Structure 1
């Protein structure tokens, strides 16, 4: 009989501790930042290349007062060249950079808003690549397809 009361008490206790299905509404929602970088399909060196960056937060163009930085570095090197961006309004930023030589480059965008700080990186091919650089680029593209295929 004693075990029966303990079981009834536990069942009552557990049902009283159920979560409210609307609990998530009580928490602050984080802003969602999306960055799209448009680069020319073929980049050659040593020519100046212009590119456009589109930034949205919660599907709205991000304000020009946000902190936007671009860094360009050759693959495998630690030196990062900071590139000046210019706001064109409505979440559109432009920049230009002269790639000094052929090879793989990483373009890192740093976007800071009141609620988030993201640093997406895009790897690009400039001019003619060595076989090793081609393999590195193909491997990165395969990984990107694998990580995006489940969405």
Structure 2
């Protein structure tokens, strides 16, 4: 019995020594900060990259559970959702090609560390 308890204790203690900084940030009560990076230009038929930066207490969030980009015409309540891939350093990217000119709303849906943040940015797509 003693040997079994020693093994359990060893497993519990060895599991606690992982990256303390990551553990502290993931347990932080500070909100995550989500910023859609500015898009300088969008033209019908040309692919653009939409980047979302996710941080918490000025540190990149690499462990977001979900990051999706919603694209809709300005004023619409719902649009199309596209997954964003983790590109490192808290940056999540998705690409899109617009079929029509107009004003769009780009909204990032980020779920990370028990929080959900959804910033919106307008984008003018030209012919």
Structure of greater relative contact order (alpha carbons < 8 Å, 6+ residues apart): 2
Q: Distance in 1 between matches of 2:91 and 2:61?
A: 8
Larger radius of gyration: 1
Give the structure-1-normalised TM-score.
0.59
Query: For residue 106 of structure 2, what is the aligned residue in structure 1?
Result: 107
Q: Distance in 1 between matches of 2:89 and 2:35?
A: 13
Q: Distance in 2 between matches of 1:39 and 1:115?
A: 26
Q: Distance in 2 between matches of 1:35 and 1:29?
A: 16
Runs of 5+ unmatched residues, structure 2: 1-26
Q: Which has the higher helix share?
A: 1
Q: Which has the higher strand share?
A: 2
Query: For residue 140 of structure 1, what is the aligned residue in structure 2?
Result: none
Runs of 5+ unmatched residues, structure 1: 1-27, 129-151
Query: For residue 69 of structure 1, what is the aligned residue in structure 2?
Result: 68
Moved more, 58-67 or 80-89: 58-67
Q: Distance in 1 between matches of 2:117 and 2:39?
A: 23
Question: Is it true that 1:42 corresponds to 2:46 in the alignment?
Answer: no
Task: Report Cα offsets for 1:9-63 as digits up to 9, x if no partner.
Answer: xxxxxxxxxxxxxxxxxxx973222222224311111221112221101211012
Shift of 1:79: 4.1
